Amino acid sequence: MLHIILVEAELELIPKEIRNHYIIRKHAKKRGKKPSEMILDSSLHFRAMYKIDDFKRRGRPDIVFLSLLGLLSSPLNKTGMLRVYVHTRNDEVIFINPKVRLPRNYNRFIGLFEKLFVEREIRTKEGICLLKLIEMNIYDLVKKIKAEKYILMDEKVDININKLIKEFKNHNDIAIMIGAFPHGDFRNDYEFADRISIHKERLDAWSVALFVTDLYYFVKLL
């Protein structure tokens, strides 16, 4: 089993500090929603975001959107050998049913995840849980997953794809952590994980995620 954890994802509801900003209120009125029930999106809310800490990095739900679309439609997921989690900057974890079919449309995706942040879980009419959000830091998530090996994808270390292949061959249950933020460094230490790079430059999270899942698929199944 391969576990993919999108760590420190910039996915959050509108912070309290800016909910009364006119940009936020205007957008909320247009959508017929409360500001507290909308997801922060820098492409829409940037002029209000300068009042919050680390504002240049925040408000990037598109990274999660693109990563999840690729991962959930991957050959590895269709074989039942992939589990995906989203860990947010606010230490929340989204557990994702591998059979969930997420909206391909970005706006519908945002609407679904806004509902998730408010209600804390999304279920089918039959009661099957598709998405669940729990307050949990990365260390508690690691304890829950109990993988044999943890690897953090980090472009700052030397490229070593052969090491990644070796780890896939030697471990049946492995977790790969990928930063789901636009720039900057990791906020946690991840001292429990080895660090591996697949390219000398920073790659988009969804590119790394698909490379890793396809590589695991080839190593394990072909």
Structural domain boundaries enclosing 189: 2-11+60-101+132-221
DSSP 104-173: SSHHHHHHHHHHHHHHSEEE-TT--EEEEEEE--HHHHHHHH--SEEEEE-TTSPB-HHHHHHHHHH-SS
176 occurs within a structural domain: yes
154 occurs within a structural domain: yes
pLDDT for position 222? 72
115 occurs within a structural domain: no
Judged against a pLDDT cut of 90, whether residue 51 lies above it is answered with: no
The count of structural domains within the chain is: 1
pLDDT band for position 96 (cuts 50, 70, 90): very high
The predicted-structure confidence for 60-70, as pLDDT tens digits, reads as follows: 999 999 999 99
pLDDT for position 221? 81
Judged against a pLDDT cut of 90, whether residue 125 lies above it is answered with: yes
116 occurs within a structural domain: no
pTM of the model: 0.96
Q: Average pLDDT for residues 25-41, to the nearest whole number? A: 97
